[in-house]
A and B are shown apart, each in its own frame.
Chain A
Amino acid sequence: MKLNVELQIYLKEYSPNGAAKFDYELADGSSVMTLVDALGVPDELANIVIVEGESTDHAHKLKDGDHVILIPPLAGG
């Protein structure tokens, strides 16, 4: 399946092509965890996961065309 992935802030370091937003192929039935591992992002840095606008977790099963955002630990202020 093909995913549309967005890596926020410094997670961009793990982008396969250096861009923060990119398309990514993954085997059908993969979870967010599979994606995180495939990109080489340390688990704890993929701290907030948003799939299709919904906040979710690493076990979430992905489907073709999903927009996936990974966000590291942050602080605002």
Chain B
Amino acid sequence: MPHGWTGKILRVDLTEGRATPEDLNMPWARQYIGGRGLGTRYLYEEMDPSADALSPENKVIFATGPMTGTYAPTGGRYMVICKSPLTGAVACSNSGGYWGPELKFAGYDMIILEGRSPNPVYLWINNDGVEFRDASHLWGKNTEESEDTIRRETDPQARISGIGVAGEKLNRFACIINDKSRAAGRSGVGAAMGSKNIKAIAVRGTGAVEVADQLKFGELVFDSMRLINESPTTSKALRGMGTASTVAFANSIGMLPTNNFQQGQFELADNVSGQTIANTVLRRNKGCYACPIGCARVTETSGETKWKGHGEGPEYETIFGLGTDCGVGELDAVLYANYACNLYGIDTISAGGTVAVAMELRERGYIPDEDLADLGTDLKFGNADAVIRCLEMMTTREGKFGDLLAEGGYRLAEHYGHAELFMGSKKQDFAAYDPRAAKGMGLGYATSNRGGCHMRGYSMKVEWFAPMEERLDPFAEEGKAAALIKLQHDAAGIDSVGMCDFSAYAVPPERQVELYETCTGEETSREEWDEIGERIWNLERLFNNRAGLTRQDDSLPPRMTEEPLSGGAVQNQVVALEGMLAEYYRLRGWDDDGNPSAETLERLNIQ
């Protein structure tokens, strides 16, 4: 068994109901690290990028990294890679919890789902045993009921990753949920799974992941824990208040997207801030497998409003998506909407973005009354009932309007003749950072291989969160292309190795390299790590180009490039994208249309 790996993947032909173990392609594992990179390599090899994402030709790949299932801090990640039903580009969504390690313990590094099952099924992997089980009784069940039922039917210790009703209904931004509340959230990976008629994958494994140099690896893990405990970002901000700690900051700066990015400050921001959450609805903190940070929050509504429930969240992104960007400042409503998204299996960011653009379309008079007859409440900013009702309708595709919502914000806005009001790139909604207050985020959104997203080069790190003396001017365009490229490569590395992006605030790439080396026994270097990141980025780009995406898709809506924000420190700022983009292509070795040149591909050894 190769170190850091089980050396096996499971190929699942859903059409035929056949599961076949195969050897992991080790040269690819070496070239692409694992997880995101390796999964993309398989996808690129095996599917025609121009095929319909909801057709049986799409493949849905569950991929772990070499660190997944070891005791490296945050070494519990897995990724779902496929062609995105939302963007038509490559999708790779990353999740924590315990499912990824369990898959390794069962003896597999990766699962490739192919074809389409004639009937609803779930997969039960119990160490060596693999069974296709009927899931017709689970169809229509939410993620929690489905998980509980499957656990009863399999093993009390089984780990389950699967879809809710939104995935079954092919909502284009349906997510995959594991361990009840951890989400492979973005780009509609849940719809791709639903299109294959597979509800869930349950796994139980009793093996272990072997590392090459136990002693050295152990020392590095120990020291990495120290780094995490000493870094104020990981030990105080993330551990103490979770990602919600960012709300107050973003509002003070004037970059907290409000009312579909029409404003950058929200008058009710205090109601939904990390501090308020900590003081009121927080029950306890929670962490994923082998995570010393524990950024997750378990919460319960106050009991004083009509919105009642308990669950995990909200993250900063969710507070923005279901809260501020829809003008909603009632904390209980945001919590309730968050729990609902987890149960339905929809991405909170895109769900929120879709409702936000719907609200703006309605307020501008572009959605006629008759289309909203089933909504039962006013579709306007600040109306929490409308948010919650839209979530229900988009999940089940209820009526014409629910059907439109389920197609995502871009297609919705396009339907009503105003695609320019959709706040995203490549048909995927932006995350919670207004790029007019961090120009590198603008370039990052535009060039992200999976569409609008903050996890493909988080430029906030260098524009706002780095130590003052190292920080780049957030309002300047100069230097952002080079800085972003480096961040994009770093993100590809940490994703692929199977650790959480948040650990990287304390555990730098140099240390990730050392952990990788002692885990796998493979020698590499910081320079090579960067090159692998670049290789992954270019491979994703090639997939997208072959899927038909062009330079036109590396874009931002006119609101970002033409309409200045007012309020906060962000007065009069717009994103001058074109200059940054040209510089970005040049530095990447791509032609003017964004195609990697032959020399670039040769240098990176991409075949």
Write the chain B residue with the least CB distance to A54.
B569
The answer, yes or no, to whether B317 is at the interface (CB within 8 Å) is yes
For A69, the chain B residues whose CB sits under 8 A away are 252
A33 to B316, CA, bound (A): 30
- Does B568 have its Cβ within 8 Å of any Cβ on chain A? yes
Q: Which of B423-481 contact A (CB under 8 A)?
A: 432-433, 454-455, 458, 460, 464-465, 467-468, 474
CA distance A10 to B233 in the complex (A): 11
How many Å lie between the Cα of A72 and that of B467 in the bound state?
A: 10
Asked if B68 is an interface residue, CB under 8 A from chain A, the answer is no
Nearest neighbor of B469 in chain A, beta-carbon distance: A57
- A73 and B232 contact, Cβ closer than 8 Å, known pairs A9-B274, A50-B569, A55-B253: yes
Query: How far is A71 from B240 in the complex, measured between Cα atoms in Å?
Result: 14
Partner of A9, one of B231, B245, B460, B474: B245
Give the residues in chain B near A44, CB-CB below 8 Å: 232, 467
Which of A10, A53, A71 interacts with B254 by CB under 8 Å? A53
Q: Find out whether the CB atom of B315 lies under 8 angstroms from the CB atom of A77.
A: yes
Q: Which of A32-77 contact B (CB under 8 A)?
A: 44-45, 47-48, 50, 53-55, 57-58, 69, 71-77
Q: How far is the CB of A53 from chain B (nearest CB, A)?
A: 6
A10 to B237, CA, bound (A): 7
Cβ of B246 < 8 Å from any Cβ of A? yes
Q: Is the CB of B467 within 8 A of A53?
A: no
Given contacts A47-B465, A47-B467, A48-B464, contact A72 B232 (CB under 8 A): yes
> Chain A: which residue is nearest B231 at the CB level?
A73
Partner pick for B237 among A12, A20, A58, A74, CB 8 A cutoff: A74
Contact A9 B240, CB 8 Å, known A44-B467, A50-B569, A77-B502: yes
Asked if B485 is an interface residue, CB under 8 A from chain A, the answer is: no
Closest CB in chain B relative to A42 CB, distance in Å: 9
Which chain A residues lie closer than 8 Å to B432 at the CB level? 76
Could you say which of A10, A50, A55 contacts B236, with CB atoms under 8 Å apart?
A: A10
B262 at the interface (CB under 8 A from A): no
Docked CA distance A75–B505 (Å): 8
Q: How far is the CB of B387 from chain A (nearest CB, A)?
A: 21
Q: Which of B371-402 contact A (CB under 8 A)?
A: none
Residues of chain A contacted by B243 (CB below 8 angstroms): 75-77
Residues of B within 8 A of A76 (CB): 243, 245-246, 250, 316-317, 432-433, 454, 460
B249 at the interface (CB under 8 A from A): yes
Distance in angstroms between the alpha carbons of A58 and B505 in the assembled complex: 23
Q: Please, which residue of chain A has its CB at the minimum distance from the CB of B315?
A: A77
Q: B208 an interface residue at 8 Å Cβ cutoff? A: no
Q: Let me know if A8 and B238 touch, CB within 8 A.
A: no
Q: Is the pair A74, B254 in contact by a Cβ cutoff of 8 Å?
A: no
> B263 interface residue, CB < 8 Å from A?
no
User: What residues on B are CB-neighbors of A48 within 8 Å?
Assistant: 249, 464-465, 468
Q: Which residues does chain B contribute within 8 Å of A45, judged by CB atoms?
A: 232
Q: Which residues of B contact A75 (CB under 8 A)?
A: 233-234, 237-238, 243, 246, 465, 502, 505
Please state if A9 and B467 are interface contacts (CB–CB under 8 Å).
no
- A57, B501: Cα distance in complex, Å: 28
Residue numbers in B under 8 Å from A20 (CB-CB) = 275
When A10-B236, A53-B568 are in contact, do A74 and B465 touch as well, CB less than 8 Å? yes
Q: Is there a chain A Cβ closer than 8 Å to B565's Cβ?
A: no
Closest Cβ of chain B: how far from A13's Cβ, in Å? 9
Distance in Å: Cβ of B361 to nearest Cβ of chain A: 28
Name the residue among A44, A45, A53 with the largest chain B CB count within 10 angstroms. A53
Which residues of chain A come closer than 8 Å to B474, judged between CB atoms? 55
Q: How far is the CA of A45 from the CA of B241 in the complex (A)?
A: 16
Tell me the complex Cα distance, A77–B491, Å: 13
The interface residues of chain A lying within 8 Å CB-to-CB of B458 are 77
**Complex alpha-carbon distance, A73 and B464, angstroms:** 9
B268, CB-defined interface residue at 8 Å: no
B248 at the interface (CB under 8 A from A): yes
Name the distance in Å between B177's Cβ and chain A's nearest Cβ.
18
- Contact yes or no, B249 A71, CB < 8 A: yes
* Given A71-B252, A77-B501, A9 and B275 contact (CB-CB distance below 8 Å): yes
Contacts of A57 in B (CB 8 A): 468
Nearest Cβ on chain A to B401's Cβ, whole angstroms: 31
The distance from the CB of A9 to the nearest CB of chain B, in whole angstroms, is 5
Residues in chain B near residue A10, CB distance under 8 A? 232, 236-237, 240-241
Docked complex Cα distance between A72 and B237 (Å): 8
> Can you add 7 more A-B contacts, CB < 8 Å, to A53-B568, A77-B243?
A8-B245, A9-B249, A73-B231, A73-B465, A75-B233, A76-B316, A76-B317
Q: Could you jot down 17 A-B contacts, CB within 8 Å?
A: A8-B245, A9-B236, A9-B241, A9-B275, A45-B232, A53-B568, A55-B474, A57-B468, A71-B248, A71-B249, A72-B236, A75-B234, A75-B237, A76-B316, A77-B243, A77-B315, A77-B501
Q: Which 9 A-B pairs give the minimum distances between C-beta atoms? A: A76-B246, A55-B569, A73-B233, A76-B316, A10-B236, A9-B245, A8-B248, A77-B243, A75-B233
